[in-house]
Structure 1
Amino acid sequence: MQDTVLFYPGGSNGEDFDGARAERKAQTRSDLRRVAQQLFADRGFDAVTIASIAAAASVSVQTVFNHFSSKEELFFDGRASWVDGPADAVRFRAAGVPALTALRHHLVEWVPDRVAFEAAPEGRRYTSAVETSSTLSIRERELVHDAERRLSVALADAWEDDGLGAVTSPPSDPAVAARVTAATWLATVRVLVTGERQPGGSTEQRAADVAALTDRLLRGLEG
């Protein structure tokens, strides 16, 4: 009797099968996010349930929970790159670039896109939803604290490795200095961006103005 051979299209070791399964999972997650965020926009965040999301996406409630732990996670999914972005800019900076310089470059480049997003219809819906939902407001504050924590860890690690770069020596207590720096720099950017949420005028010009002001203020903090 011949041995039974399992055949996977395109490969003999199951790698293509695993890749296809991962793609399907990613597509399902993307579809759920799209459906949920449209429902949030149409009905309001608090009026939407996980069951209604599942029904609109033609999947089971369990399928939704297999990908997202809560409505809040669905709401912010794909909209919170600012949580990891600053820390990643420090951790993966080019050789020889001081941590704060890399962080400043990242934030200055991020600001125009964020100003443009918040001026667009999707961004205005996002802002309105967060401001009118206590659960979203709480979750956003948690994400802000998470961003600060991740950045402070990345800065402390960088300073322990190669010092500040912009000064003669690293801080005597890198952990404390990193926490203060992360909170100060990210708060500065948040204030500048949220101050430009009012409608009217040229979005492109506002974005450029905020980016220039961000660069000027952060250069002062860096120095």
Structure 2
Amino acid sequence: MTEETTGLRERKKQRTRQTLSETAIALFLERGFDQVSVAEVAAAAEVSKPTLFRYFPAKEDLVLHRIADHQGEAARVVRGRAPGEPPLAALRAHFRARLDARDPVTGLCDVPAVMAFRDMLYTTPSLVARLMQYSAEDERALAEALAEAGADGVTARTAAAQIIAVHHVLARDNWRRLASGRITATVLEAARADAERAYDLLGAGLTAQGL
């Protein structure tokens, strides 16, 4: 099999995966996650149920696929930081930039479609549980990146757990602000202040460890 053929097949798989995810999310938002079966998603996407499960092992993964490109992001930031830049400083700057860009991953995005997606994600217990599994993988990847940066094992694992947890706290707080009816422009400064405070607290414990 040629490299070109392999590339075409992979792109086709990616398109199929995207179609399945977007079809499912549209149905879930319309009727509720727990009210739509996997069989209904497969029928709407015009694929068989076994085919759907080849792409997504769990129903929840159909939803989490939308944010899958963010998985491992913290680890990538640490590995891609400027020479001599401490990992924590790179992560702080990255999160600040994502806030200013109103990136949905920070919870600070009041686009109605994004808000509806976040509402579903944070209020559906099985999706919250699956999100925590994704977070565990983020934590593992970040711990590896911090170890590569020179942190010892327990420091790398502890720091990774704290950093990933902080990101989730900040994102949830921002989502709650917007879910209460406020708009991004009115909460941006508070979101920035919270992020700075959170990273100050992280820094108080981690800077002495060379992070």
- TM-score, normalisation: structure 2: 0.80
Matched, 1:185 2:163: yes
Task: Give distance in 1, aligned partners of 2:72 and 2:13.
Answer: 22
Q: Which residue of 2 aligns with 1:8?
A: none
2:139 counterpart of 1:142? no
Runs of 4+ in structure 1 deviating by more than 6 angstroms, as ranges, are: none
From the superposition, tell whether residues 19 and 130 of structure 1 become closer, same or farther in structure 2 (CA, over 3 Å).
closer
Asked if residue 57 in structure 1 is aligned to residue 35 in structure 2, the reply is no
Aligned-pair distance for 1:16?
Answer: 3.3
Residue in 1 that maps onto 2:71: 83
1:80/1:25 Cα in 2 relative to 1: closer, same or farther (>3 Å)? closer
Q: CA deviation at 1:54?
A: 1.2
State the 1:81 CA deviation.
Answer: 4.2
Say whether the 8 Å CA contact 1:32–1:53 is kept in structure 2: yes
Residue number in structure 2 paired with 1:116:
108
Please name the residue that 1:204 is paired with: 185
Note the alpha carbon deviations across 1:29-68, whole angstroms, 9 max, x for none.
Answer: 1111110111111111112222111110111222212211
TM-score normalised by the chain length of structure 1:
0.77
What does the per-residue CA deviation read over 1:5-41, in whole Å, with 9 as the maximum and x for residues that have no partner?
A: xxxxxxxx84433332222222111111110111111
Between the aligned partners of 2:11 and 2:168, the Cα distance in structure 1 is 35
Summarize deviations over 1:120-163 as a string: whole Å, max 9, x none. Answer: 32333233323443221211222222222221221122125xxx
CA distance in 1, matches of 2:140, 2:44: 36
Q: Please say if residues 104 and 218 of structure 1, whose CA atoms lie closer than 8 Å, have aligned partners that are also in contact.
A: yes
Name whichever of 35-44 and 174-183 sits farther off. Answer: 174-183
Give the letter for the 1:39 counterpart.
L
Between the aligned partners of 1:36 and 1:128, the Cα distance in structure 2 is 16
Tell me the residue number matched to 1:48: 36
In 1, the alpha carbon distance for the partners of 2:2 and 2:148 equals: 39
Gaps of 5+ in 1: 1-12, 161-173
Matched, 1:68 2:56: yes
Deviation of residue 74 (structure 1)? 0.8
Inter-partner Cα distance in structure 1 for 2:66 and 2:6: 24
* Aligned 8 A contact 1:116 1:204 in 2: no
What is the identity percentage for the equivalent residue pairs of Structure 1 and Structure 2?
A: 34
Bigger mean CA offset, 130-139 vs 87-96: 130-139
Which amino acid in the other structure matches residue 191 of structure 1? V
Measured on the aligned residues, the alpha-carbon RMSD in Å equals: 2.3
Deviation at 1:220, TM superposition (A): 5.0
